[in-house]
Amino acid sequence: MSKLYIVPTPIGNLEDITFRAVRILKEVDFILAEDTRTSGKLLKHLNICTRMYAHHKFNEHAAVEKVISRLQNGETAALISDAGTPAISDPGYLVVRNCIDAGIGVECLPGPTAFVPALVTAGLPNDKFCFEGFLPVKKGRKTRFEFLQEETRTMVFYESPHRLTKTLGQLSEYLGEDRNAAVCREISKLHEETVRGTLQELFVHFSDKPPKGEIVLIVNGKKD
């Protein structure tokens, strides 16, 4: 039976992949990968020889029709990103939506995603939270900060290392310097680190010590 499997892959430690994920990647007819070079290293490590095709933000609109056609003809496919769960700040939504519209089954396996361990280790309230992903780089950035001033839930952001101090400074300006936050860096990797403090303290820390690697920023919401 045709089906699209959404398969999370490790965000750091290769041992984080599940037995089920490995089995699915071996059994499907083809794999859609964000970067075939990056995923090729993982598949080689896992002794998986399934045929891979590039599926990223630059070609997904052109490729989705062919993917749907193959699935409608009875094939099965797995969608993977460079790391973590596809469609979370990565390509994936478009092919999932088109599969649903075409009546093709979609199944997402549980597995690695960066913001969950960051949210838990931050030590901030996590009974309610909102995932903001990457903030706008230019257009709409100021508007987003203004909107988030009234957010009472804990906020989760993805950020690049070269923009982190700028973002911390702007969040301090809009949300208040004493707002508690945490920067989680290189989750599940050798140099994993979580730095906690106020937005101002984190701004000073990372201004003196520029960060490297993948970053998740957790910010406490406005008190009711």
Provide the whole-model pTM: 0.92
Alpha carbons 117 and 76: distance in angstroms, whole number:
31
Query: Is 195's pLDDT higher than 90?
Result: yes
- Domains in the chain and their CATH numbers? 3-108 (3.40.1010.10), 115-219 (3.30.950.10)
pLDDT at position 57 is 87
180 pLDDT tier (thresholds 50, 70, 90): very high
**Computed from CA positions of residues 61, 74, 28, 101, in that sequence, does the dihedral angle turn out positive or negative?**
positive
74 pLDDT tier (thresholds 50, 70, 90): very high
Report the chain's mean pLDDT, rounded to a whole number.
96
pLDDT at position 224 is 76
Query: Is 183's pLDDT higher than 90?
Result: yes
Query: Is 88's pLDDT higher than 80?
Result: yes
Q: Cα 139 to the chain's mean position, in Å? A: 22
pLDDT at position 110 is 96
3-state secondary structure of 54: strand
